[in-house]
């Protein structure tokens, strides 16, 4: 049975790059009838925050990525938060030391830094030279007496390694060029990322690790470590990186790409999933608009690309707009209202619900709605009143319109077409000179929603009031 995991560190809000990893894992598990596990990697005590842990769970649920095992829901292999598993890690470290596969290393951080620095100026790889392995008893005692706390390092014995990556194919590593014995427990007693990831992947019976390419150089270390602990390594697949709009790699510091920011801007979760799926994957044809069921049915690791992809905010907005068009009118209104509610706009609910469908086909995300909804306000400034209202021709027209609106006052959904039919023969103007005075008097603006759509919603009595308000400009 396929068991995959998403293993975020709660050190910031999760963003496009993180959730692409989550999504691909989720889709891979679901297609194969497997399990999707959430594991919180919070061993970096300084940078991990409980509010980020909470936020990342909310964001995943909002996206529809419900985990089968993990925090809140539990599972057979918990706890799923690493800070609650320290005893398990310690046991593994002790065993590695006992078996001679790891050792306490009294080389100080300063010495390690000097080593790296020297390597750099001599243009050698910044490799740890394993000197701590051969310290004499006397040397160790001297260092202990000086208060030096040891790290624990894992011994690299076989530096040549081949990985059969699910996405990148065969990758060979020579660890001799890259690293020496690496730290699995820091001097402060905390296990490192390498150790905890391997222990947890093994104990949680993870079968496939799908993660970012930034972890590719860690994978040989993980394979060795797992082997030394007597565990079978999982299959690995490394996803190519996503670059930001300016070509820079995505990072947690870019607030605009956090899932929070997209939620706040009123993007749809299914559009987000669709967009990020296309960052590195394609359905094999040129389709771009894919619903959530389609994504679930079509996703396949074999179509994941090895080259990096670029986040394009305009394309994402466009795609979100396409998903809005796919919604039924009722769904659009319901979801828009959910988005708008916390904003506390000053319009009655029924009016908002009645006018929202007008905007379904011409907004890209919900945060564009408050501006559009201003059409519900009866008081507004006029654009170019000199041109569209304060002319004798406009005055004549608006007086006719005002009188004619009375005839429609009793109708619940008056028709703009019928209104025009009657107005035209009475009016001395036509074309722009007819529409623009009406539009500007009724909405204040030269551009905006079609009059035929707002006319029935606002109703004749209200439009009459707005017409009279415009006419009052002539009296000033």
User: Which residues would be at the binding site for ligand GLU (CB under 6 A)?
Assistant: 7-9, 41, 197, 209, 211, 215
Of 252, 360, 395, 465, catalytic: 252
Choice between 55 and 209, CB closer to ligand GLU = 209
Annotation says 252 is catalytic: yes
Pick the closer one to ligand GLU by CB: 54 or 338: 54
Q: DSSP secondary structure string, 220-277? A: HHHHHHHHHTT----EEEEEPPEE-TTSPBP-TT-GGGBHHHHHHTT--HHHHHHHHH
Closer to ligand GLU by CB, 9 or 112: give it: 9
Q: How far, in Å, CA of 354 to CA of 329, rounded?
A: 11
CA atoms 38, 41, 42, 46: torsion sign: negative
Q: Which two tokens stand for residue 434?
A: 């007819």
* Cβ atoms of residues 301 and 31 within 8 Å: no
Rounded to 5°, angle at Cα 317 from 312 and 322? 125
Positive or negative, the CA dihedral 167, 172, 178, 182 is positive
Encoded tokens for 424: 């035209």
Nearer to ligand GLU, 179 or 210 (CB): 210
Residue number, 21 or 467, with CB nearest to ligand GLU = 21
Least Cβ distance, residue 103 to ligand GLU (angstroms): 25
Nearer to ligand GLU, 44 or 90 (CB): 44
Shortest CB 154 distance to ligand GLU, Å: 17
* Measured distance CA(216)–CA(163) in Å, rounded: 10
Number of alpha carbons in the 13 Å side-chain half-sphere of residue 363: 25
What's the rounded Cα separation, in Å, for the pair 369 and 23? 29
Q: To the nearest whole angstrom, how small is the minimum distance from the Cβ of residue 8 to ligand GLU?
A: 5
Q: Enumerate residues 6+ apart whose C-beta is below 8 A from 40.
A: 7, 8, 9, 10, 53, 56, 70, 71, 80, 81, 82
The CA distance from 55 to 310, in Å, is: 25
Q: How far is the CB of 7 from ligand GLU (least distance, A)?
A: 4
Q: Which two tokens stand for residue 203?
A: 């104990």
Whole-number minimum distance, CB 53 to ligand GLU, in Å?
Answer: 12
* Tokens read off for 446: 């030269």
With respect to ligand GLU, which residue has the nearer C-beta, 236 or 311? 236
Residue with Cβ nearer ligand GLU (8 or 220): 8
Report d(CA 68, CA 3) in Å as an integer: 10
Distance between CA atoms of residues 46 and 475, nearest Å = 68
- Least Å distance, CB 10 to ligand GLU, is 9
Residue 51, both tokens = 């509010």
Task: Compute the distance between CA of residue 44 and CA of residue 11 in angstroms, rounded to an integer.
Answer: 8
Q: Least distance from C-beta 197 to ligand GLU, angstroms?
A: 5
Distance (Å, whole) CA 185 – CA 183: 6
Least Cβ distance, residue 6 to ligand GLU (angstroms): 8
- Spatial separation of the C-alpha atoms in residues 306 and 281, rounded to whole Å: 9
Catalytic residues: 252
């Amino acid at each position: 049975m396929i068991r995959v995991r998403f293993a975020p560190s709660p050190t910031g809000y999760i963003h496009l790059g993180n959730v692409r990893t989550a999504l691909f894992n989720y889709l891979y598990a679901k297609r194969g009838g497997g399990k999707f596990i959430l594991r919180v990697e919070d061993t970096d005590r300084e940078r991990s925050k409980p509010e980020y842990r909470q936020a990342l769970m909310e964001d995943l649920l909002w996206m529809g990525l419900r985990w089968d095992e993990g925090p809140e829901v539990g599972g057979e292999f918990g706890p799923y938060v690493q800070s609650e598993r320290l005893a398990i890690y310690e046991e593994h470290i002790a065993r590695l030391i006992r078996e001679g596969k790891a050792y306490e290393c009294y080389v100080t951080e300063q010495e390690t830094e000097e080593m790296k620095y020297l390597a750099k100026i001599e243009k050698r790889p910044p490799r740890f030279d394993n000197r701590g392995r051969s310290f004499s008893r006397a040397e160790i005692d001297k260092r202990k007496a000086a208060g030096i706390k040891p790290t624990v390092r894992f011994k690299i014995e076989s530096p040549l390694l081949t990985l059969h990556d699910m996405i990148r194919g065969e990758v060979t590593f020579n660890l001799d060029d890259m690293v020496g014995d690496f730290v699995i427990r820091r001097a402060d007693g905390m296990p490192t990322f390498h150790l905890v990831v391997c222990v947890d992947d093994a104990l949680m019976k993870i079968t496939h690790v799908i993660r970012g390419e930034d972890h590719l150089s860690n994978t040989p270390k993980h394979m060795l470590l797992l082997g030394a602990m007597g565990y079978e390594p999982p299959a690995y697949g490394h996803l190519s990186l996503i670059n930001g709009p300016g070509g820079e790699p995505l990072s947690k510091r870019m607030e605009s790409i956090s899932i929070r920011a997209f939620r706040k801007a009123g993007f749809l979760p299914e559009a987000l999933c669709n967009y990020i799926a296309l960052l590195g994957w394609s359905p094999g044809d040129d389709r771009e608009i894919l619903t959530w069921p389609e994504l679930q049915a079509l996703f396949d690791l074999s179509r994941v690309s090895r080259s990096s992809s670029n986040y394009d905010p305009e394309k994402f907005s466009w795609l979100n707009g396409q998903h809005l068009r796919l919604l039924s009118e009722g769904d659009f209104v319901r979801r828009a209202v959910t988005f708008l509610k916390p904003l506390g706009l000053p319009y009655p609910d029924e009016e908002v619900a009645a006018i929202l469908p007008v905007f379904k086909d011409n907004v890209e995300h919900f945060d564009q709605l408050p501006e559009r909804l201003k059409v519900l306000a009866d008081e507004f400034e006029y654009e170019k009143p000199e041109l569209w209202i304060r002319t004798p021709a406009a005055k004549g027209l608006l007086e006719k319109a005002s009188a004619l609106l009375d005839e429609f006052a009793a109708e619940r959904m008056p028709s703009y077409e019928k209104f025009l039919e009657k107005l035209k023969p009475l009016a001395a103007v036509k074309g722009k000179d007819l529409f623009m005075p009406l539009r500007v008097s009724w909405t204040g603006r030269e551009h905006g929603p079609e009059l035929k759509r707002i006319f029935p919603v606002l109703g004749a009595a209200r439009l009459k009031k707005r017409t009279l308000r415009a006419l009052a400009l002539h009296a000033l």
